[in-house]
Chains A and B, each alone.
Chain A
């Protein structure tokens, strides 16, 4: 056992403490001397060596861009890829006279005003010793011409760079989003996230859609090439290099053919469609109409085009499926029915009267049914099939908002679904708390919840507002008897090198606790919707599988904010939106969807046939006759043959460089 050590209360002259202080001090001084020695070695004895390294930059590290991951659909059709092309770049600090150099280059290649404008913008963003792109996507001939004359133009380089391409343009615009030039704010964000090393040499970053959500995986890691440079700072040879780590590919659950059918079925109409596989949560189709051409954004959109797009009254830039908020109308009723059954507000076989209007006790205000004569007597199933408003007014009134809200929240209504796209709207599932908060800046009487507020909520009007995505998700939950997934466009992320597949959200988030017989009951009543006597009976004709659905009509209360006044469009914009939710085959659903067609009137008229066309195609492969001949052909491409695969990236990086001496990209 160590000897006991009693330190007397500290009083200056304690020799133990003295010794320990001296040892500590000696240790610190010694270590600092080691540092001083190291500094002297580096800065005095090795000064010449390091000075040469730094001043001549005789060895410089040039980042080698990784190839961005591809995005392919469930059948292997490539939706986003890369291709190599030459860019003409100028480094201002190395030119003798920048304006003269640019003027001379203007003789060799055609420089449009747009090129010049963009070049000026790059100059202002980049530093003088960084190259700025003067012209992109040179033709081979142009590249050769610059190469031949380049020797008398210091600071001018032709580089092989990778460009992003979205072969299906508008069709995938709201899903894929786009990449664009890294702006000042993104630069800051990259620094904050400590990703500077990852973006050294990078010019583009995911700005929207999947390109943004999966940026970190798509991006990859740059490699570096150690270049020996001559006294003028020009690369003479490559000493060694570390290959970049290419970005991961995204394999989508989305079926581009189905997407195309849905898109064409919309035609010129505005609206959105989201189709989900209820058994996996994978998104099969995700349409928001109209779309836009994403390639406009990749190299910086010009202000006029942007202004036109942004101010277009059809709002092509708005992702309606993700962000558009619409009252669900009668498509709300199946969910309301589940809540009513679960709360015991109505029994499965209980028959109610379904008159032409509903009044509150002590009030003369009539809440009208869409059918003025009413629907006679109806149990809950028939009330859904014929879409009786009065039965649901009464149910809502009986239950009150406090018993409705928590049950409907289970279906994900009023909260973000968590889909792998940025900027999702949460929607509004009304509650007392929500109303108090929403109107908190107004007088107390606006904030209070009135019992009558609940009545119109029962039929999906009132404060209710959901995105098409939320409605599709809720339908999928219903279809799968309560399996809640985070909907996801991406099925798996695939590492290009190892081929390792990482599935996205493969397991359900939770299982809802409603009784199985209630699910069966509500699903049965949705089948009745498309049978004789149901509101969409026409739709059920000639079915080769069991379809279940629900029509809806959303009253348009106001023109969406920011829309420009347009006399021709105004009348149309006041028309109701047409909704349809559906799933099939009813016994074991593999597709659940929600469709909204803006300003198209009654649900059974526009949205329901569209949904039928999409489901027909998905389950039976039958192309709806109205779009026959308009569909594109999609060829699945094996990974190796695609221009952006790892092999091709190598080819792009080692593309013969027109001017060996000034080109910093690998040339051997």
Chain B
């Protein structure tokens, strides 16, 4: 007996998707709509935009989930090369927004090539290690480091420390899951801590200010400390239970800067309180757990390192964003995954989630 055609269509559509992940992302997205509505002073302009780019992101997610990881992997070298060339293009012809050079203007569209790198870099590394599977020697990790450092330094030069750190971290996660020696990881960590003074030396003024502000926001409460003080007040005054949806005074009195994008978590915290924050942490942790499960079951080295890197990068986003808004990490431009308003970031996150599902699917096929 043949099932109903609608039912078959439904099965065709849902087959590539990973049930638990889709469900979790759907819940996060619905909650994010509520908080965005509050953050944008109860207007619908941004909500409409968000719905549009979320739909678009879901389309991309579905397409990638439907694709086979092997096909996705084939695109790694060209995307990586194009990404690096675009970054070089930014260096040469990029336009300057807010003092740093991050955008390329093609007339009809402005793109930020560092966004492409967020996916292209781990893909490239995954492709590279897959090609040497079973015979990986120490020098392969050296080549891997070079693959990381090329885009990394280009982005550092823009200057965009936040994005450069995230992208290099996503590359490091690949090395980690590709079996980079523990000694090197621990040794490297120690070396990094030792080199911090040098890093400080090479930092731009605005980056140093952010670090100083983090250490003591009250030093500069009206300048750089303003963001942190205001968002901390918003979070703290939310209390255990929150002030309730649409009732955040800090939010509605516009004390919170960039409250629809990077600082949206402050709005969330103020209105939903500690309980809301814990719910969000649990939701994210569930996404991460599912990601690591897929990593554990991945069939190929490429799948394993990609799934691991995507999962850990997702974690970095969530952790760094909530950390900076609550005042324990410096203010870097990192969005809260699937909650912050912004099309580009959402699309690149959806690409990651789509690949994760694709890797998860090889199991079932």
Q: What 10 A-B pairs come out closest when comparing CB atoms?
A: A50-B236, A54-B237, A224-B222, A43-B274, A242-B222, A42-B236, A50-B237, A47-B239, A7-B179, A2-B181
Binds B, one of A30-38, A323-331, A444-452: A30-38
- Shortest beta-carbon distance from B292 to chain A in Å: 6
Binds B, one of A10-18, A134-142, A390-398: A10-18
- Shortest beta-carbon distance from B14 to chain A in Å: 26
- Category for how many chain B residues contact A: 35 or more
Known contacts A29-B285, A51-B236, A226-B221: does B292 contact A24 (CB below 8 Å)? yes
- What residues on B are CB-neighbors of A4 within 8 Å? 137-138
Binds A, one of B20-28, B74-82, B205-213, B294-302: B294-302
Binary contact readout B311-325 vs A (1 if CB under 8 angstroms, 0 otherwise): 110010001001100
Query: Which partner residue on chain B sits nearest A2 by CB separation?
Result: B181
- What residues on B are CB-neighbors of A2 within 8 Å? 138, 181, 183-184
B253 within 8 A of partner (CB)? yes
B326 within 8 A of partner (CB)? yes
Taking a contact as CB atoms closer than 8 A, the residue among A3, A40, A61 that contacts B222 in the complex is A61
Known contacts A21-B296, A35-B323: does B239 contact A51 (CB below 8 Å)? yes
Query: Which partner residue on chain B sits nearest A224 by CB separation?
Result: B222
A224 near B226 with CB under 8 A, answer: yes
- What residues on B are CB-neighbors of A241 within 8 Å? 222
A43 near B292 with CB under 8 A, answer: no
B278 near A39 with CB under 8 A, answer: yes
Binary contact readout B256-285 vs A (1 if CB under 8 angstroms, 0 otherwise): 010000000000010001100110010011
For the complex, give the distance between the alpha carbons of A47 and B274 in Å.
10
- What residues on A are CB-neighbors of B232 within 8 Å? 42, 50
- Shortest beta-carbon distance from A10 to chain B in Å: 5
For the complex, give the distance between the alpha carbons of A16 and B135 in Å.
16
Query: Which partner residue on chain A sits nearest B253 by CB separation?
Result: A129
**A 39-74 contacts with B by CB, 8 A:** 39-40, 42-44, 46-47, 49-51, 53-55, 57, 61
- Shortest beta-carbon distance from B323 to chain A in Å: 7
- Shortest beta-carbon distance from A131 to chain B in Å: 13
B285 near A40 with CB under 8 A, answer: no
**A 361-409 contacts with B by CB, 8 A:** none
A629 within 8 A of partner (CB)? no
- What residues on B are CB-neighbors of A439 within 8 Å? none
- What residues on B are CB-neighbors of A25 within 8 Å? 288-289, 292
Binary contact readout B132-175 vs A (1 if CB under 8 angstroms, 0 otherwise): 01111110000000000000000000000000000000000000
Query: Which partner residue on chain B sits nearest A7 by CB separation?
Result: B179
Q: Measuring CB to CB, which residues of chain A are less than 8 angstroms from any residue of chain B?
A: 1-10, 12, 16-18, 20-21, 24-25, 28-29, 31-32, 34-36, 38-40, 42-44, 46-47, 49-51, 53-55, 57, 61, 129, 194, 196-197, 223-226, 240-242
- Shortest beta-carbon distance from A467 to chain B in Å: 25
A7 near B136 with CB under 8 A, answer: yes
- Listed by A's residue number, 21 A-B pairs whose Cβ atoms lie within 8 Å are A2-B184, A12-B297, A20-B176, A21-B292, A21-B296, A24-B292, A28-B315, A32-B284, A32-B319, A35-B277, A36-B278, A38-B323, A38-B327, A39-B269, A39-B326, A46-B236, A47-B239, A49-B236, A51-B236, A61-B222, A129-B253
A9 near B301 with CB under 8 A, answer: yes
- Shortest beta-carbon distance from B207 to chain A in Å: 17
Taking a contact as CB atoms closer than 8 A, the residue among A8, A28, A39 that contacts B288 in the complex is A28
B330 within 8 A of partner (CB)? no
B83 within 8 A of partner (CB)? no
- What residues on A are CB-neighbors of B295 within 8 Å? 21
B67 within 8 A of partner (CB)? no
Taking a contact as CB atoms closer than 8 A, the residue among A6, A24, A36, A223 that contacts B134 in the complex is A6
For the complex, give the distance between the alpha carbons of A194 and B103 in Å.
15
18 further A-B contacts with Cβ under 8 Å, apart from A28-B312, A32-B319, are A2-B183, A3-B181, A6-B134, A7-B136, A24-B311, A35-B277, A38-B328, A39-B278, A47-B239, A50-B236, A53-B233, A53-B236, A55-B237, A129-B253, A196-B257, A224-B223, A226-B222, A240-B222
**B 316-359 contacts with A by CB, 8 A:** 319, 322-323, 326-328
- What residues on A are CB-neighbors of B327 within 8 Å? 38
- What residues on A are CB-neighbors of B136 within 8 Å? 5-7
Binary contact readout B195-225 vs A (1 if CB under 8 angstroms, 0 otherwise): 0000000000000000000000000011100
Taking a contact as CB atoms closer than 8 A, the residue among A1, A36, A50, A197 that contacts B281 in the complex is A36
B71 within 8 A of partner (CB)? no
A10 near B304 with CB under 8 A, answer: yes
Query: Which partner residue on chain A sits nearest B223 by CB separation?
Result: A242
